[in-house]
Structure 1
Amino acid sequence: MLLTIVVILVVSGALLLGAAWGIYGRLPKPLEGFIVALAGGALIVSAVLELIEPAMKKAPLWQAFALVLLGAAVFTGLAYLVKKKWGSASGGGLLAAITLDGIPENLALGVALIGAGPLQVAALSGSIFLSNLPEAAGGAKEMAESGKSKGKVFALWAATAVLLSIAALAGNVLMADAPQQLLALIQCFAGGAVVASLATEVFPKAFKEDAYWAGIATAIGLILALYLDQLA
């Protein structure tokens, strides 16, 4: 349980650090885009190797594939509705991305912590950390620049971090005795949501800020995440 709490604090803490960085820190936009792309590359590996592929061994393929598609469809649909309400320049899109894919993602993280070794946990949590940090920074910065109170923006991201921490704890505690097939389907849903967030939020933002260097950064992130996976 101690390992679970530490991992959850590290992953959710990335939202707080990212929000503080976005509100109060200053980085050149190309560097921000490079970091976002780096995180996206890492999250590709996390989605495939830590969520979807292991789940495919525990559930029928058609169910696994269906849940991947469902996760992507749910994320895309809800993110579209949120953007229509808040607007694309308010940072609300990235907040929606982190929340909507983060709940099943952290639920799956909690599930993955059941019986997992430290290195296995590090591979998944490290990728999620790398993704949450720059996404939170970008979203919080845009929200602050749109005229919202910096304190309120930070409080909103802090509330999101708490929500995602609860999701991870729920996954670890409530799902401890759940059937393996159900856990596998939850992981597939999370993987689909992650893939959709990469396509609609992460990589478009990275390319906008850093142009073609984003391609190099994505490859670097992918290599780093693969290295972590090999350690596991």
Structure 2
Amino acid sequence: MMMTVIVIIVVSGALLLGAAWGSFGHLPDRLRGFLIALAGGALVLSLVTELIEPSVERSSAIVALGGVAVGAAVFTFVDYLIDEKWGPDSGGGLLAALSLDGIPENLALGVALIGAGPTEVAALAGSIFLSNLPEAAGGARLMVQQGRSGWRVLGIWALTALILSAAALIGFLSMENAGERTLAAIRCVAAGAVVASLATEVFPQAYREDRHLAGIATALGLILALWLGELR
């Protein structure tokens, strides 16, 4: 349990580090795009090797594929509501948008930690850390540019970090005694949501901000995740 809490704190702490960087530091657009592409590449491999493949082995391909499809559909629907109905710049919509990507990732992290040592989730945790850092930095910088104070922005991201930490703990505690088929389905639903977010938000943003090196950064992220996975 203590190792689980440590991993969750480290991963969610990336949000606070990124928010502080974006609120009070300088983050060039090209660097942010490079880091986002790096994180996206790492997540692609981690989703397959740490979530989807183990789910296929422990349950069935039908359960895994169905879970991925459901997760992608749910993410797409909520993302549509934020963009078209609630408004991404509104108070509730903004907080929902900030949390939407991270909740599936952290639920998946919490479930993945069940019965696993820290090295067995190194790739997934490292990938989420890399994803959270530039996402928080870019989001915080945009919020400051819109007229919010740096400290207020940091407070919003601190609240988001608490929400995501709670999601990871809920995923770990509520599913600790669940069966393998149930865990497999949940992992794949989370994986599908993250895949949809990569396609609709992460990679398009990385390309807009650093189009010449986005492909290289994505490949480097994949290599990094592969290396982290070999630490087992």
Secondary structure of the residue aligned to 2:230 is helix
Counterparts of 1:23-34 in structure 2 under 5 Å?
A: 23-34=23-34
**CA contact 2:109–2:124 (8 Å) conserved in 1:** yes
Secondary structure of the residue aligned to 1:231 is coil
Alpha-carbon separation, structure 2, partners of 1:96 and 1:205: 19
Residue 203 of structure 2: aligned partner = 203
Question: Structure 1 counterpart of 2:72, which letter?
Answer: A
Residue 103 of structure 1: aligned partner = 103
**CA contact 1:94–1:136 (8 Å) conserved in 2:** no
TM-score of the superposition, structure 1-length normalised? Answer: 0.92
Q: Does 1:179 align with 2:179?
A: yes
Alpha-carbon separation, structure 1, partners of 2:18 and 2:41: 18
TM-score of the superposition, structure 2-length normalised? Answer: 0.92
Question: Structure 2 counterpart of 1:185, which letter?
Answer: A
Shift of the 70–34 alpha-carbon distance from structure 1 to 2, 3 Å rule, reads same
Question: Structure 2 counterpart of 1:157, which letter?
Answer: W
Question: Structure 1 counterpart of 2:163, which letter?
Answer: L
Shift of the 70–99 alpha-carbon distance from structure 1 to 2, 3 Å rule, reads same
Secondary structure of the residue aligned to 2:58 is coil
Alpha-carbon separation, structure 2, partners of 1:97 and 1:127: 20
State which drifts further: 182-191 or 163-172: 163-172
Q: Does 1:121 align with 2:116?
A: no
Unaligned runs of 5+ residues in structure 2 are none
**CA contact 1:18–1:137 (8 Å) conserved in 2:** yes
Residue 189 of structure 2: aligned partner = 189
Residue 167 of structure 2: aligned partner = 167
Cα deviation, 1:166-221, whole Å, max 9, x if unaligned, reads 11112222211111111111100110011111111111111111112101000001
Q: CA RMSD in A?
A: 2.1
Cα deviation, 1:53-98, whole Å, max 9, x if unaligned, reads 11112223222211101111111121122123565688x9896455
Q: CA deviation at 1:25?
A: 1.1
Alpha-carbon separation, structure 2, partners of 1:105 and 1:62: 22
State which drifts further: 219-228 or 168-177: 168-177
